Structure formats: structure tokens, C-alpha cells
Amino acid sequence: MDHHALISLAAIGMIGMACQWLAWRVRLPAILFLLLAGILAGPVTGWLHPDELFGDLLFPFISLSVAVILFEGALTLRFDRLRGLGSVVQRMILAGLVITWLVCAAGAGIFLGFSLELSLVFGALVVVTGPTVIAPMLRVVRPKREVAEVLRWEGIVIDPFGALLAVLVFEFLVARGEGAAIAHTLTTFAGTLVIGTGIGAAAGFLLAVLLRRHLIPDYLQNVVTLAVVAGAFAASDMVIPESGLLAVTVMGMLMANLPRVHVDEILDFKESLSILLISTLFIVLAARVELEQLEALGLGALGVLAVVQFVARPLQVGAATFGSSLSMPSRALLSWIAPRGIIAAAVSAIFAPRLAELGYEGAELLVPLVFAVIVGTVLLQSATARPLAKRLGVAEPDPRGFLILGANPVARAIGRALHEAEVPVLLVDTNWENVRAARMEELPAWFGNPMSERAETEMDLAGIGGLLALTPNRELNLLAGRSFLREFGQQRLFRLRARVRKRGTTAKVAEERAQASETLHGRVLFGEDAVFPAMAARVRAEQPIRATTLSEEFTWADWQQEHPDALPLFAIAPDGKVQVFAVGDTGLEVPEVGPGWKILAWMPQATT
């Protein structure tokens, strides 16, 4: 066994996950840390040599990884979420692609002296944005829905078309010496569209039928889907080279929009796999860059970056949004956000050596120039996009509020206390009388099942970052926790116990059940004795929920001494963030509070 290869593969995975964790901690796109790690591991230290490590499997691995990433992104594209933005997305991908291509090509020719042919190839490589950088940036920026949907659709759909454009330019250069370049290019374009769309649609329909009829057992659905994606990509590429990306994108979009095809479990699996593949790809591709090539770019790379950021993108957005209903602030933010990602890096790594073999001078600079654009756009935009969105008024509020499952009297009492403390809340219930009562109390309320497909498009979760399941139905509370796990994360899922422990249940059994429920469906609210019937009794007794602000003179210990029988519910920090009193491994977890914190608690009796 080659121990160096084994250690290298393991180290790539560990370094990639460390970069992902660091990105999560500092709230920046992971691509920055992944690229830095790859450059340090490759050209700086000379420890990692991807070409030697992977050999002939390097580029097939890159291609298949990109296919899986694109398919995962396409699974999130729902046509019903566009709502009037379809024409904008179409123009961003079609007219915008041509504008970006030509402007970026001109920038490479002006600032780096690239030949016309090499400039056109570079322009084609950097027209794409991509889900690998758009998705994490959207999580940080949190723009309004219309901006987020345009960026998400553009980032996923433009990838195969950008790769196709690069292929067409390359094929034109190859065939130019044969005297039939235009005809060859048009044939390639038509063939790619027909084959890629046809194979992708066929694979998507086939897999959808198998899933609908339950012909694939649950434990095999993820791996079968992965195998079909790889098969569709390979089959399409065998017929028309580089058409596989279009095939997997069509396949993913089709499955996301066909009725009665449940892709949530598949999407969860693909998201986890995509994180691993993205981490590996960026480290590997960055490790192949040579420092001498980066130095050869000089200040010209900054000029190209300026053209990409300040000229090409505004022109693209201006053409795509002309006459649309998008507001000027939304257009301004769209004009700023366009980070380049894995597709540009991967395709440049494939085509640069081929162009060098054809004798195009400067082809070896394509890869470092593309990486410079990737790093520049991601670094600049990730550092400025959130403040810009806030200044323009197109940023969603910080997700510190709660989606409250239930609009019954208990839920309304807790929701009203949070609402009066200026914490965003949204009460949801399938009982119209409960919803009507909530609205009569001027509480935001939505009528319907929050776990339905209608809720995905109609329920406004702006400013919402957690779930409070407050119904007397234990199974419904648990199901809601499972449904919103991906949306809010384990630590922001809370549920009120529906009933007290049955007699005869041992402490050990009760503890095991509590741990299992917490792991899968959220943490228990307010303490072991805080069960729904007891909370309902407090409402009937008109016991109030009061807010008390702590200070240097009146501390948390003083509050506890003064209100020994009160039930603390929430602690609100001076910056507005909300901590919940919930049951942990050692009992009730008390947030670390201090001066300026506000305590919301249920008092034992009404005050006069």
C-alpha cells in the first residue's frame, strides 16, 4: 500500500472539513480557506501533488464531482418560487452570458495582452457564478426573496451553459484550421443541447417513476440516485463531450418540479456529499497552481478583476432587469454579487493544457488568472455584500425570531410576550379559530400546515431562526421538529412536552426517551415540569408573562431570589438575540445573562 497516497487523501478530507468549520465560525465562504489551504499544500510547501496522487483519474474525478454538485443544486430549483422573475433569469443566462463573455474577454486583452482567441476562452470561463459560492454567500447576506431566487437560479443554470460556451469556443479554435469552424461549432452546440437535455430528461423521468412507485427501497434511494446521476453524465459525455453538465442539471430540475416526487432525503444526502466534493476539489485544483504563473500575471490581474466586478456584472444585470418589476436597490445588489466558483476553476484546468498543446501563447496563465478572479470576487463580495444589502434595504432581518407551531391560548400567550419584546414571531395552525384569535390579538399568524408544499412558497420566514412547537399533540411537535431540522438546525428546535411522564416509567427509560427525542426532534422547553396542561392552566388562571431587565444592581441571582416560583422562558440579550431556557443533559440550561439582559418569565399569579 502506498502510505503517502493514503495519508494525502485522508489529509485532504480533514483539511477540507477544517476549512468548512472555520468558514462557519467566521461567516465567510469556505472557498477562501479551501483555496488558501490548497496553495499552501501545493505550490508553497510542495507537499501535495494532485497529478501524481490521482494520475489519469484526476480529470474524470473532477468532472464527476462537478456533475454531482450541479445535480444537487438543480434539486433546489422550483419553478413556483420564481413568481414573475422567470424573464429576468432567462435574460441573465442568455443575454447576460453573452455580455459578460465579451466584456471579460476585452478586459483580458486590454490588461494582460491576451490574443483574441485566448481572451474569448477566458471570457467564456468566467461567465459562470455557481452554487458552491452563491449558496454560502446567500446564507450570510440573507437578501430578500426576489434577489435570492434570481441569484440561486442563475448560479445553477448558468453553469452548464457557461461550460458549453467554453467548449464551443475551444471547438471553434480547434476546427478553425480545417476551414469549417463555424459549421462545426453550430453542430456541436445543437448536439449538446439535444443530447444533454434528452438524456437528462430521460434519466430524471426514469428515476421519478421508480421513486413514485416505491420500486427502490428507502435505504437504496440515495445511492441509486447517485449512480443514475453518474450514469447520465457519463452517457451524455460519451455521445457529445462536455454535454454531461447540462444533462445532470436538467435531470435535477425535472425531479425538483415533478409532482409526487419527494427529494428531501436525496437532497440531504447530496448536500453532505457536495460539501465533501467541493472541499476536495478546491484544495486539489488550488494545489495545481504554480506560484510563478501567479507572479507573471502582475497588476494586470487586478485590472481584469475590476472589469469583471465593475463593468461586466452591472451591464449584465442592467440588460436582464430592464423593464422588470425589480426595485433599484434589488438591481444594485444583483449587480454586486457574482462570485466565481468551482465550474470556472475546473473547466479552466481542463482546457488550459489543451490550448497550450495547440500552441496558444499564454495559455498556461488561464488557470492562475481564473483563480485570481475567483479569490478576488469571493473576498470582495463576501466582505461587503451583507453591509451593502442592509444599506440598500434589501436584507432580511437577522433570524432571531421563532416559528410557533400552534395558535392555541398557550402559544398565543408566549407569542404575544415575544412579540411585545420585539422578537419576530409567526404562529401557524390548521385550526382557523385559533388563527383568527391570534390575528385579533395582532399577532402574525398563518393558516395551514407548515410542513406542506404550500407553506414552502407562501409562509414568510423573514427574521425567523427557530421553532417553538407548542401544541398538545406530542407526535405533531416531534414531526415538526424533524421537518424543520434542515431549516433551523438542531440547536434552534424546541418543543413543549405534551404530557407528564406515565406512572411506572423508570427514570432510565424516561432519560433514554428524552435523549432520543432531543436528538431527532428538538430540545424540551422550560423544564421537566413545563408540560402543556400546566401551561394551559396558567393561561386560564390569567398568570402573566412579564419582562424584567437585569442591571448591575439587580442581577440574575437577585431575580431568582425575588421570584422563586416564576417560570423563566426566554433571555433576550442587549443586541436582541434570544436564548431559550431548555432542558439539557444536566437539567434546565440557564443562559449566561448579565446587565442589560431581559428575562421573560411566567409569574405565579396575576398582579394588580
Q: Can you say how many angstroms the Cα of residue 373 is from the centroid of all Cα atoms in its chain? A: 22
pLDDT over 60 (residue 66): yes
pLDDT at 397: 72
Domain 3-392 fold is Na+/H+ antiporter like fold (1.20.1530)
Collect all residues with Cβ–Cβ distance below 8 Å to 239 and sequence separation of at least 6: 191, 195, 199
In the predicted model, what is the mean pLDDT of the chain? 81
pLDDT at position 306: 93
Distance between CA atoms of residues 547 and 553, nearest Å: 17
pLDDT score recorded for residue 512 = 46
- Taking phi over 0 as left and psi of -120 to 50 as alpha, with beta for the rest, 260 belongs to left
Query: For residue 231, what pLDDT is reported?
Result: 92
Confidence bin at 458 (pLDDT 50/70/90): low
Q: Where in the chain is the domain with CATH 1.20.1530.20?
A: 3-392
Nearest CA-CA partner of 208 in 197, 219, 216: 216
Residues, the chain? 608
pLDDT of residue 158: 78
Q: Residues 549-559: pLDDT tens digits?
A: 888 888 888 88
Give pairs for 453-460: CB < 8 Å, separation 24+.
455/428, 456/78, 457/78, 457/80, 457/81, 459/426, 459/428, 460/426
Question: Which CATH architecture group holds 401-602?
Answer: 3-Layer(aba) Sandwich (3.40)
pLDDT at residue 513 is higher than 80: no
Return the percentage of the chain with pLDDT > 90, whole number.
9
pLDDT in tens, 186-241: 777 778 788 888 999 999 899 888 888 888 887 888 888 889 989 999 999 888 87
Contact present, 87 and 324 (Cβ < 8 Å): yes
Backbone φ, ψ for residue 173 (5° rounding): -65, -40
pLDDT in tens, 496-512: 887 655 545 454 544 54
Between CA 499 and CA 488 the distance in angstroms is 25
Average pLDDT value for residue range 264-278: 73
CB 134 within 8 A of CB 341: yes
Q: Give me the pLDDT at residue 102, please.
A: 92
Helix (H, G, I), strand (E, B) or coil at 525: strand
Residue written as cell 412536552?
497
Counting beta carbons within 10 angstroms of the beta carbon of residue 92, is it exposed (0 to 12), middle (13 to 18) or buried (19 or more)?
Answer: buried
Residue 311 pLDDT > 90, yes or no? yes
Q: What is the mean pLDDT of residues 139-155?
A: 80
Of these ranges, 90-94, 416-420, 581-585, the one predicted with the greatest mean pLDDT is 416-420
Tens of pLDDT, residue by residue over 10-22, are 999 899 999 888 8
The whole-angstrom separation of Cα 492 and Cα 521 is 10
More confident residue, 366 or 82: 366
Maximum CA extent, the chain: 95
pLDDT band of residue 457 (cuts 50, 70, 90) is low
How is 105-119 classified by DSSP, letter by letter?
A: HHHHHHHH---HHHH
pLDDT at res. 517: 46
- DSSP assignment of 201-252, as one string? HHHHHHHHHHHHTT-S-HHHHHHHHHHHHHHHHHHHHHHSTT-HHHHHHHHH
CATH 3.40.50.720 positions along the chain are 401-602
SS3 content of the chain, % helix, strand, coil (to 5): 65, 10, 25
Spatial distance between the Cα atoms of 583 and 591, rounded to a whole number of angstroms? 11
Per the CB < 8 A criterion, the answer to whether 199 and 232 are in contact is: yes
The answer for 522, left when phi > 0, alpha when psi is -120 to 50, beta otherwise, is left
For residue 276, is pLDDT > 60?
yes
Q: How far apart are CA 331 and CA 320, in angstroms?
A: 10
Q: How distant is the alpha carbon of residue 422 from its chain centre? A: 28
| pLDDT tops 90 at residue 307 | yes
Reference 71, options 237, 279, 226; nearest CA is 226
> What are the φ/ψ torsions at residue 450 (nearest 5 degrees)?
-70, -10
d(CA 233, CA 251): 10
Write out pLDDT tens, residues 574-583: 888 888 888 8
Among 213-217, 227-231, 326-330, 422-426, which stretch is predicted with the lowest mean pLDDT? 213-217
* Sign of CA pseudo-dihedral 247, 248, 251, 252: negative
- 463 SS3 class: coil
